[in-house]
Amino acid sequence: MSAVLLAVETFGDQVNSDAFTQNFFYIMSSAAVVLGLLGLILVDSGLVRTGNVLSTAIQKLTAFAIGTAAYMVVGFALWNYQYNKAFGVPDGFSQAIKDWWFGGNFMNDYAQNIDSAVAPGAGNSQIFFVFLAVYGGFVCALVHTAASERIRSAPLYVISAFIGGLIYPVVLWLTWGSTSPLTNAGTHDFVGAYSSYIFAGSFGIVLTLKLKPRLGLFPKPGQSATWAPHNVPLALFGVVVLLFAAPLIVMGCGFFVPEDGYYGVSMTTSGLGLVYTNVFVSFAVGGLVGGAIAYKTHNPVHAILGPISAYVANTTAFDVLKPWETVLVSISGPVVVAVAYTWVNKRGIDDAKVFPLACAAIVGDLIVGVLAWGTATGGYFGLEGDYGFQHAEINLWWQILGILVTVGIGVVSALALVTVLGTFMQLRVSPEDEINGIDAARWGPRTEEVPAAHASTS
């Protein structure tokens, strides 16, 4: 029996050494997002009641999976639409769907078999599909952090599906990528501060207000608090895991041009070494300022959140700041978190993590709008006119618009989902399960008393 081999044209530039190097780099960044998920699970597991640890971890993992899978359907296709429009691809939106949805032409073929004149860097795009998808799942995990230990699984999973499949892709398309509508005009974002921290904080605060605080967290005058975290050192370990993952995630937010240099995702001229340095400058400064605030207030939370808050404040612009400028932004992170932390606690609002971090991202975003004012951004390599390479400039006003758009989408979508879901299902776990332990109420094996008459004797 003879086999007939069909000749398939291959495109070597899709799989040469430069392409492989970039592929590996984006693979590493994608995997680091999952490591970031582990960090979030550890943080939340340490900061809930002992009887709610397992349920909290399972909810976060499942929300991450749902958000990731939902984005994979058409989310990447929507994000790629910006480039179809920039390059003048006929029927750009429908073509983006055909090419890059989960069953699309370019998502289901080997990179070397895809014409590089039609889809250059196809292998990179296929891997970037995963990077953006798991980041969408990470956003869902952040939203869960704002509502952990209170929200029931069913509404959380519906919310995660909507965020990953619709809301996050829209915010990402608007604010991230060199030819996205806002970026191409001058709004700047490097690591996805708008679509992650600012959105999650805006959405989460609405959800938190609807769910009300955890029982025993804010006692009435004369009463003592009955809520206590399971294991604060475990949360600290989770922050260390996040710090390990963050630099790897950051490195994937740009373009490598062989023998030319490294460019931020918005086409800003940058350098990999400087970006990497800026990340660790933010860790060091945030750790120092957060530690000082912790000792001043006798509250270890500020020491734990210090490095993370400085990192979050800088996520907009690791690619365009010098290390000394990163120091200035990093100082603002722990200070803003401390102010926001005090503000929510005085008002009995049970979100002392995600909302304060979102505030740090917003303030850092504004500072960057001033420090990097006039920096060339937007467009794409080789293009001219409305999408010309670096035709736009970063400025404070476009940063403010990016914040307003993101906060608006977060608040409106949260109000809509919470209102609709609250009509058809119970949003919050029962008081009995919350106090006695959701793990014992929802998960087996359960221990039951054995009647004395049936007990075995030796």
Q: What is the pLDDT of residue 224?
A: 74
Listing DSSP states for 293-310 in one string gives HHHHHT-THHHHHHHHHH
- Contact in structure between 14 and 111 (CB atoms under 8 Å): yes
- Contact in structure between 238 and 443 (CB atoms under 8 Å): no
pLDDT in tens, 343-378: 999 999 999 999 999 999 999 999 999 999 999 999
Assigned domain for 454 exists: no
Q: Label residue 55 by pLDDT band (50, 70, 90).
A: very high
Q: What is the pLDDT of residue 450?
A: 42
**439: three-class secondary structure by DSSP:** helix
d(CA 339, CA 341) in angstroms, rounded, equals 5
Q: What is the pLDDT of residue 219?
A: 84
How long, in residues, is the chain?
Answer: 458
Counted domains in the chain: 1
- Contact in structure between 293 and 331 (CB atoms under 8 Å): no
Q: Label residue 326 by pLDDT band (50, 70, 90).
A: very high
- Residue 300 sits in a domain whose CATH number is 1.10.3430.10
Q: What percent of the chain has pLDDT over 70?
A: 95
Assigned domain for 232 exists: no
Q: What is the pLDDT of residue 447?
A: 46
Assigned domain for 218 exists: yes
The sign of the CA dihedral 418, 420, 425, 426 is: positive
Assigned domain for 57 exists: yes
Please say if the pLDDT value at position 453 is more than 50. Answer: no
Assigned domain for 79 exists: yes
Quick one: which H or E segment has residue 84?
helix 53-86
Closest CA relative to residue 156, chosen from 38, 305, 44: 44
Q: What is the pLDDT of residue 444?
A: 80
- Contact in structure between 341 and 352 (CB atoms under 8 Å): yes
Please say if the pLDDT value at position 437 is more than 60. Answer: yes
> Does the pTM exceed 0.85?
yes
Give CA separation, 310 vs 4, 225, 289, 334, 390, in Å.
Answer: 61, 30, 9, 6, 28
- Domain range for 124 is 13-224+240-438
d(CA 202, CA 215) in angstroms, rounded, equals 23
Assigned domain for 2 exists: no
**Tokens 């931020």 belong to residue:** 264
- pLDDT mean across residues, the chain: 93
